[in-house]
């Protein structure tokens, strides 16, 4: 979805990103491995009737559930939007319900980023955006190039 959907008319978008594609690939790989392991355990538990109707039916159900979980995983990734404009930061997430947070650049008091070992290798991490008014920061989780984006955010917010 375009960033225009999430911002006011005429508001200039600096960046609009989803969590890193590596995060999505990792989560989808977990689903595929779990489904393959479950199907293998089921099939190997009754090797004599691998082609029976009940075995094929259960394997089909396992595959359908796996596809559904993969679809929900993708949709959750796709519907998570981190937006920086010239005047504010915005966070939107959710499939059925929507969670959003909004903070003007004038309210930002601190911007930090954190990368794990894997995040450093694949260049993704979390950005924590804090204000005096909020107890909990806005967190841009798992975004690509967190150092560059945090520096850009600091520069725009003048912190």
Model confidence pLDDT, tens digit, residues 65-101: 999 999 999 999 999 999 999 999 999 998 888 888 9
Is the domain of 54 the same as that of 88?
no
**Is a pLDDT exceeding 90 seen at residue 151?**
yes
Domain count of the fold of the chain:
2
Which residues, at least 6 apart from 118, have a Cβ–Cβ distance to it below 8 Å?
none
Q: So what's the pLDDT on residue 56?
A: 74
| 123 is a domain residue | yes
CATH of the domain at 144: 2.30.29.30
Average pLDDT, the chain: 88
Q: So what's the pLDDT on residue 132?
A: 81
| 1 is a domain residue | no
Q: Which domain holds residue 145?
A: 12-19+81-157
| Residue where one domain finishes, among candidates 76, 100, 117 | 76
What is the 3 state secondary structure string of 3-67? HHHCCCCCCCEEEEECCCHHHHHHHHHHHHHHHHHHHHHHHHHCHHHCCCHHHHHHHHHHHHHHH
């Amino acid at each position: 979805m375009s960033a225009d959907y999430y911002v006011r008319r005429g508001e200039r978008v600096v960046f609009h990103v989803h969590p890193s594609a590596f995060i999505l690939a990792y989560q989808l790989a977990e689903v595929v491995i779990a489904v393959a392991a479950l199907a293998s355990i089921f099939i190997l538990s009754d090797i004599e009737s691998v082609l029976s109707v009940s075995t094929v039916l259960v394997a089909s159900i396992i595959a359908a559930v796996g596809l559904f979980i993969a679809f929900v995983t993708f949709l959750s990734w796709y519907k998570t939007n981190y937006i920086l404009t010239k005047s504010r930061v915005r966070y939107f997430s959710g499939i059925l319900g929507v969670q959003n947070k909004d903070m003007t650049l004038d309210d930002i008091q601190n911007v930090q980023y954190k990368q794990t070992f894997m995040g450093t290798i694949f260049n993704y991490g979390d950005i924590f955006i804090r204000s005096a008014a909020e107890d909990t920061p806005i967190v841009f989780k798992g975004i690509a190039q967190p150092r560059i984006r945090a520096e850009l955010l600091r520069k725009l917010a003048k912190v």
